[in-house]
A and B are shown apart, each in its own frame.
Chain A
Amino acid sequence: MSELKEKLKTQIIEQLNLEDLTIADIKNDSPLFGDEGLGLDSIDALEFIVLLDSYYGIKIDDPAIAKEIFHSVDSMADFIESKK
């Protein structure tokens, strides 16, 4: 699981063009969206949908669910595990 989370962080940096960040800058449980976390928004949520599809073959059609899944690295990893 922790391996998956580290991999996810690398993919997030790559997919969202956050090259200024390192994986150490992204905490497992801190919110990715909003000013409290990484300051991501609805456009970045679209990138997460692409990320899940291209790296994990998981398709998300309902943006409403997407919000919960993409809350943090933890919640994303849980979701990916549950789809295995």
Chain B
Amino acid sequence: MKIIGHCYINPRGAFFNGQNVLIATEENYLKNYFSELKIDYSKFYKMDLLSKGAFLGDYLLRNSYKDLLHVENELQFIFANTSSSKETDIRFIESYERKKNPSPSLFVYTLPNILTGELAIKHKWFGENIFYILTKFDSEFFNDQIVMSFLRGNEYCLCGWVEMTGSPEDECFMFLVAKSEVVNENFSNNLNEILNTYRNE
């Protein structure tokens, strides 16, 4: 198990492999980063917070994907958070309670795993996907999931902790892991160190 790239996004900045890539200059930081990165992808504007976060994280990781452009099936998504799609859920409830019109375009984002669909569409990845709800980021848990995924025959795992509800504590931490012969006993410790460094930036 080898981490071949990682990134982190929060309302203050965006990072790739430990390096600060962007600093937020506007309150709407996701739109801010999207504009700064000059990405041409009009569907971005329609996405919910979770999908926007994961989409930008995926873009920050673009240089780590170089060796897996041929991969269609053997890349699995393993994502998790605590609050599911809470922000969109509340907006959908408002659409029928306050605006008196249940909004279909909000409803389709009231599931956390929609973000994996967005990434699959963008890259034409047909691999396995799963979304977990955890009380907090758990490196051991991700470690187990990745081990299982590789034993099932996958070659890469794109993992993400996307806890975003519109709060200053929001964060999107993503890491790409490749299968390797070398057993990495310290995998979960490494993962915790990486995330803690980002959190303390």
| A residues adjacent to B (C-beta < 8 A) | 15-18, 20-21, 35, 37-40, 43-44, 46-47, 50, 54
Contacts and interface: CB of A to CB of B under 8 A. Distances in A.
Overall SS of chain B's interface: helix
Contacts of A17: 46, 91, 103, 105-106
A50 B46 contact: no
Across the A-B interface, the 5 shortest Cβ-Cβ residue pairs? A39-B42, A39-B43, A20-B31, A46-B104, A20-B45
Interface string B75-90: 0000000000000000
Given A20-B34, A37-B42, A47-B105, 19 more contacts: A16-B46, A16-B105, A17-B46, A17-B105, A17-B106, A20-B31, A20-B45, A38-B42, A38-B46, A39-B41, A39-B45, A39-B46, A40-B46, A43-B108, A44-B46, A44-B105, A47-B103, A50-B101, A54-B101
A35 B42 contact: yes
Interface string B107-131: 0100000000000000000000000
B45 A43 contact: no
B28 interface: yes
Interface string B153-168: 0000000000000000
B105 A43 contact: yes
Contacts of A18: 45-46
Contacts of A37: 42
Nearest to B28: A20
Nearest to A25: B45
21 contacts: A15-B103, A16-B46, A17-B46, A17-B103, A18-B45, A18-B46, A20-B30, A20-B31, A20-B44, A35-B42, A39-B42, A39-B43, A39-B44, A40-B46, A43-B104, A43-B105, A43-B108, A46-B104, A46-B105, A47-B103, A47-B104
Given A17-B91, A20-B31, A38 B45 contact: yes
A44 to B, nearest CB: 6
A43 B46 CA distance: 11
